[in-house]
Amino acid sequence: MDISAVNSLSCEDFVDIFGNIVEKCPLVAAALWSQRPFSTLEHMEVAAAEFIDSLPVPGKEGILRCHPDLASRGLHSGNLTPESTEEQREAGLASLELGEAERLRLLNLQYKRRFGFPFVICARLNDKATIERRLAERMANERARELQVAVDEVKKICGLRLQKLVATASRL
């Protein structure tokens, strides 16, 4: 799908295709549709990032709360979105040993208690060891700083999902 085809999609079709560029948050896709036409995929990525950045703090927190805990039971039970399942598997989170899984579960729980939203990291750009290390390191952040770091990770995920969707659609 080239950018002119993206620009010609109805709102319903656009949201059907791009509705999970931000985890379980089709509102971002709907807002993005209203910003058409896009000159390039990069223009579309920038528009999505700018929309996310423009949200008030409760909106940003809401986007973060739509994300699952990394390496949660949902990964093995099929309760995650296909995108999250694939991303976590690629990072090695589906094949954790028992001790690794328990450490991540406890760190996720501590993180969520501290910040009020799940730990978000772009799993496609990290492996399980880096994810665990970054989770522990980010616990030391002040809340406002961590909110920004987590939102920046959402924007990375969003950009990669957009790239994958447009590349996949262009092969159809």
Is 67 catalytic? The answer is yes
Which residues does 32 contact at the CB level (< 8 Å), separation at least 6?
14, 18, 21, 44, 47, 48, 51
Using an 8 Å Cβ cutoff, are 76 and 105 in contact? Answer: no
Which amino acid is it at 129?
A
- The four Cα atoms 84, 155, 40, 13 give a dihedral, to 10 degrees, of 50
Task: Give the H or E element holding residue 56.
Answer: none
What's the rounded Cα separation, in Å, for the pair 27 and 23? 10
Catalytic residue among 14, 18, 51, 67: 67
Specify the DSSP class assigned to residue 37: P
Using an 8 Å Cβ cutoff, are 116 and 126 in contact? Answer: no
Q: Which residues are catalytic?
A: 67
